[in-house]
Amino acid sequence: MFRRIISAMSAVVISMTCLMAQNTQGTALAKLCSALSQSCVCLDCAYSFDMSEIRFNTEADIKVQGRAYVVDCTGVLVFSDGETVWTVDPNIKEAYIQSSGNEMLNDPAIFFQNLDKYFKVADNKTSGSVEVYTLEAVDDCGIKSAELTLKPDGTIVSAIIELSDGGKMDVKVRSMKVEEKKSVTFFRPSMSFDEAWIVTDLR
């Protein structure tokens, strides 16, 4: 469940913007989409999750570069170099390793492949100084719909995400910046998993 939550958050907050850019060529959104493939986009987020009796608030730092990403969710780390996903908790020395696969909620990078396959723009409007986009899933991909709020320059402000299983996430992006492209090794764990670690490897 935890892996699905942070994967869905990073996928929607970043890749929905890519979908917007594809439908508005030549705008700041299109430039942001280009930045996602040519640079490293960094987001500082606060979010809440609500599903049935499960409710909590937390924070996450997200770095995405093409198909690779790193998510730091209050100490729990998720790395992906585009081929392998590592979910690591250094505090209790546990690691969960799997291939990136083709399931969107298991790998946010899947969003970057044929985005129109997953979502359509149901509505968009200007509200004050921001633009609000309502997105709906074309097929069942684990996410039912999302409402994405952007500044005119393409900066992500927030996203409200409804999952197919009834869960809801409210994501606030406190800051966003674009950095120089990083080596693929940045998106892999730097720690060695010795005998002190409990490692579940499903590759």
Q: Which domains does the chain have, with CATH numbers?
A: 2-193 (2.50.20.10)
pLDDT attached to residue 114: 46
Q: What radius of gyration, in Å, describes the C-alpha atoms of the chain?
A: 16
pLDDT averaged over 10-residue windows placed end to end, the chain, 203 residues: 56 52 54 70 86 81 84 88 91 92 52 57 82 80 80 81 83 89 94 94 90
**Strand 94-99 relative to strand 198-201, pairing:** parallel
pLDDT at 199: 96
Residue 28: what pLDDT?
45
- The pLDDT of residue 45 is 87
Amino acid at site 129: S
Give the C-alpha distances (Å, rounded to integers) separating 145 from 12, 22, 132, 142, 168: 10, 18, 13, 9, 10
